[in-house]
Amino acid sequence: MEKAVVYFTDFRCPVGTSLTDKLRRLCIAAGMKNMDLTGKFVAIKMHFGELGNLAFLRPNYAKVVVDLCKEMGGLPFLTDCNTLYPGSRRNALEHLDCANLNGFWPMTTGCQILIGDGLRGTDDVEVPVKNGEFCKTARIGRAIMDADVFISLTHFKGHEMTGFGGAIKNIGMGCGSRAGKMDQHADGKPVLDAEACRGCRRCAKECGSDSISYVNNKAVIDYDKCKGCGRCIGACTFDAISSPDDSANEMLDRKMAEYAQAVCQDRPCFHISLVQDVSPNCDCHGENDAPILPDIGMFASFDPVALDQACADACMAAQPMPGSQLSDNLSSPGWECHHDHFKDSNPNIEWKATLEQAEKIGLGTRAYELKKI
């Protein structure tokens, strides 16, 4: 496979030049304007940030991409899917409130927001995965799959399970419905906290496989019947049902790559990543720890695998930020250095498996040429 081309610009801004100007020039240089968007729905996948987290991408960046899409005749919308865990984005109403509070609404972004998997995270499409090894099908938010064109706008940062959250994670995990997220994180079976259960029976009404019964006014799941659709998690407003998150991190990485394949295959795609505010953990947290690395720049490519590899390589070449989780670990007595900033920040991760699997199934290539603009 030929090398992919990844375009890059740093965050230096001479007087009279803004970061939004630089992002626009980057997208154009990388070929975004060569795409045919006329009259087509364009899903722009990004993370709106958990309430309390301030590391997510500003809505100003989203507006740059939205405006370009409109100039090209496209019909763009911002999107993300509901979360599997309790928080401020577990259903569409709370998710939209969270996005609005974090600055994302039509006045600031120039387009509407659609939550990809609907009100409760159950509006999905089962998509066959080309060359899928661990996931023959993927459960993807319906609104995302209904779009004609897909664009990812990613905040590249650290992650406690996958090493880093880049384009592939934004796409694969982010576009999975609640059932899709369960499929990646675990074996698709939710767990119950009997003490938190109020006996409201809402989960049983939502259950897609008639697997929930009640004993002493507490919900009980019949795992022989349970299909792992995740409806019960969305139905419970008392956080009594959750995903166990028990897949090994390497398996999670590989499944995530295959989910990204399901999203991107057979339609035009474009990918943008901003390596800034590189917190050690995901933006899904209700907080963001001090950045482990300095702000590096903005990257864009038609190849999400090459894009993630280029961002990771740039991070590896950077110096750890003093006073961060990474620098604290490296200075700890007896610390066994991995010579890998992501692994030295969160030692139990296997981030390279994501890119290996993505390349193996044909999502893209890790070989790239970097062009600075």
Residue range 334-370, pLDDT digits in tens:
999 999 999 999 988 899 999 999 999 999 999 999 9
Examine the fold and report which residue of 242, 259, 280 is the final residue of a domain before the chain moves on.
242
Q: Structural domain tally of the chain?
A: 2
Q: Tell me what pLDDT residue 177 has.
A: 96
Whether residues 196 and 290 share a domain: the answer is no
Measured distance CA(171)–CA(270) in Å, rounded = 11
Whether residues 221 and 255 share a domain: the answer is no
Whether residues 299 and 329 share a domain: the answer is yes
Examine the fold and report which residue of 242, 273, 307 is the final residue of a domain before the chain moves on.
242
Whether residues 53 and 181 share a domain: the answer is yes
State the CATH number of the domain containing residue 214.
3.30.70.20
Whether residues 283 and 357 share a domain: the answer is yes
Whether residues 233 and 252 share a domain: the answer is no
Confidence of residue 160 (pLDDT cuts 50, 70, 90): confident
Whether residues 65 and 170 share a domain: the answer is yes
pLDDT above 70: percentage of residues in the chain: 97
pTM: 0.89
Residue range 312-337, pLDDT digits in tens:
999 999 999 999 999 999 999 999 99
Whether residues 336 and 271 share a domain: the answer is yes
Q: Tell me what pLDDT residue 208 has.
A: 67
Whether residues 253 and 309 share a domain: the answer is yes
Give the pair of three-digit tokens for residue 352.
Answer: 């390279």
Whether residues 88 and 161 share a domain: the answer is yes
Q: Is the pLDDT of residue 105 over 90?
A: yes
Whether residues 115 and 234 share a domain: the answer is no
Look at the block and give the residue holding tokens 């089962």. 126
Q: Tell me what pLDDT residue 248 has.
A: 67
Q: Tell me what pLDDT residue 247 has.
A: 58
Average pLDDT, the chain: 94
Confidence of residue 161 (pLDDT cuts 50, 70, 90): confident
DSSP code per residue over 284-346:
TSSS-PPPSB---EEEEES-HHHHHHHHHHHHHTSPPPTTSHHHHHHTSTT----S-HHHHHS
Segments forming the whole domain that contains residue 71: 4-185+248-372
Measured distance CA(55)–CA(76) in Å, rounded = 24
Across residues 4-17, what is the average pLDDT? 97
Residue range 24-68, pLDDT digits in tens:
999 999 999 999 999 999 999 999 999 999 999 999 999 999 999
Residue range 184-231, pLDDT digits in tens:
987 657 889 999 999 999 999 888 678 999 999 999 999 998 877 777
Three-class DSSP labels, 115-159: ECCCCCCCCEEEEECCCCCCCCEEEEEHHHHHCCEEEEEEEEEEE
Whether residues 144 and 281 share a domain: the answer is yes
Give the pair of three-digit tokens for residue 22.
Answer: 């630089």
Residue range 74-99, pLDDT digits in tens:
999 999 999 987 689 989 999 999 99
Question: Is the Cβ–Cβ distance between 133 and 361 less than 8 Å?
Answer: yes
